[in-house]
């Protein structure tokens, strides 16, 4: 896993490009769909009226500020990173029916990553948003999302010692370290199982 991630990282810019794509050609990767179906972080956000008008000058900025990363297959572009940006554009398209024809810029990977790599990219994207961008402050919800998304390796104390977790966050290898990183209670974080 670590070698696959290192190789992907070292070649990322060489084999990828920024391209224009119509909104109606974007779809979540099947792994992302499955992960967010079982634990959708968007559902934990406070709801608010969308702030983008049909001719908003900030939509292009949004696509660069929090880019969508995808790969192309069978004429569609499958999202592996930029989940919240993707959802913002989906809401925009639903609000303005003609918006599905709108063209946005996405970061297109040179080829379809293998399933295990796509899962790692998606896990990194979702968990980095969850841990670093602090869009959810409820410790129990954070714990729920992490435990749902990451596999718990047999014989390990928690998901924080799993191969999946350690390949993405090697320094956060215990409940204590994750709690300290998030400035939350270890008790609350571990209440759901670890």
> Which are the contacts of 111, defined by CB distance < 8 A and separation ≥ 6?
15, 71
Pairing of strands 76-81, 69-73: antiparallel
Confidence (pTM): 0.86
**Interacting residues of 96 by C-beta distance below 8 A, sequence separation 6+:** 54
pLDDT in tens, the chain (194 residues): 778 888 888 888 888 999 999 988 999 999 999 988 888 776 655 555 555 555 666 777 888 888 999 999 999 999 999 988 888 888 877 777 666 678 889 999 999 999 999 999 999 999 988 888 766 778 888 888 899 999 988 988 889 999 999 999 999 999 999 999 988 888 888 765 54
- Domain spans in the chain, listed from the N-terminal domain onward: 2-116, 137-190
* DSSP-assigned beta bridge partners for residue 18: 107
């Amino acid at each position: 896993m670590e070698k696959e991630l290192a190789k992907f990282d070292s070649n990322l810019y060489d084999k990828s490009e920024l391209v224009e794509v119509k909104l109606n050609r974007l779809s979540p990767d099947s792994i992302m769909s499955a992960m967010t179906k079982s634990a959708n972080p968007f559902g934990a956000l406070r709801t608010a009226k969308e702030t983008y008008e049909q001719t908003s000058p900030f939509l292009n900025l949004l696509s660069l500020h929090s880019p969508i990363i995808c790969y192309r297959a069978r004429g569609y572009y499958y999202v592996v990173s930029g989940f919240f940006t993707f959802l913002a554009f989906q809401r925009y398209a639903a609000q303005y029916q003609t918006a599905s024809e709108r063209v946005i810029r996405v970061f297109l990977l040179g080829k379809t990553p293998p399933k295990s790599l796509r899962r790692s990219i998606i896990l990194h994207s979702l968990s980095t948003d969850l841990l670093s961008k602090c869009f959810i402050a409820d410790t129990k919800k954070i714990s729920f999302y992490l435990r749902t998304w990451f596999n718990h390796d047999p014989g390990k104390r928690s998901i924080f010692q799993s191969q999946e977790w350690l390949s993405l966050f090697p320094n956060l290898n215990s409940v204590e370290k994750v709690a300290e990183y998030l400035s939350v209670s270890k008790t609350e974080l571990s209440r759901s199982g670890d």
